Amino acid sequence: MHKGIENPVSLIIKLIAGGKNTEEILEEYPEMEEEDIKQALKFAAWMVSEKQLPMIK
């Protein structure tokens, strides 16, 4: 991602799934940029777009 810092896509997905919004994530991880979050979401969507995953209850 930007500035030579890599943030795992899984971290960003977990933060969002846990209820954090973009502003909260950026406050907690100041090395991230908004574009990092957008790209992580795009990548995650692409990774699961062709796979059928079971629903978790």
pLDDT tens column, 3-49 = 444 668 999 999 999 999 999 999 999 999 999 999 999 988 888 88
54: in domain: no
User: Containing domain of residue 32, as a range?
Assistant: 2-48
Could you give the number of structural domains in the chain?
1
pTM of the model: 0.73
Query: How far is Cα 37 from Cα 18, in angstroms, rounded to an integer?
Result: 15
Q: Are 46 and 15 in contact (CB under 8 A)?
A: no
Q: Is residue 57 part of a domain?
A: no
State the Cα torsion 24-25-29-34 to the nearest 10°. -110
Residue 56 lies in a domain: no
Q: Is the pLDDT of residue 2 over 50?
A: no
